[in-house]
Amino acid sequence: KLPQFPLPTHDVVVRYGVPNEFERNTVAYDEGQPRKLEKAVVLLDTISDLPDVKNDEVREEMSYKTPPQTEFQKYIRSSEYGELF
């Protein structure tokens, strides 16, 4: 017997709905159940601080172009995250 799927922790940006084949696989809170979800993380939240890279770039390491602008960027740069991998 498989354990229950963990409940979502972040909101989701839904575009065009869920394909019918996957409706049964959706993990969600029950109607009326209290929940506090984190804001959805979108691509801009993750890469907006990265420097522009040209096709002929020769540097292997580059500095970020700005300090962290989002919670995800703060997390990904934290020393705790670096120690996990």
Cα(31)–Cα(21) distance, rounded to whole angstroms? 22
Average of per-residue pLDDT across 28-37: 74
Each residue's pLDDT tens digit, 2-24: 777 787 888 777 777 766 776 66
Pairwise pLDDT comparison (70 vs 10), residue with the higher score: 70
The whole-number pLDDT of residue 48 equals 92
Fill in the amino acid letter for 57: E
- Convert 34-57 to b/e letters by CB count within 10 Å (16 or more is b): eeeeeeebeeeeeeebeeeeeeee
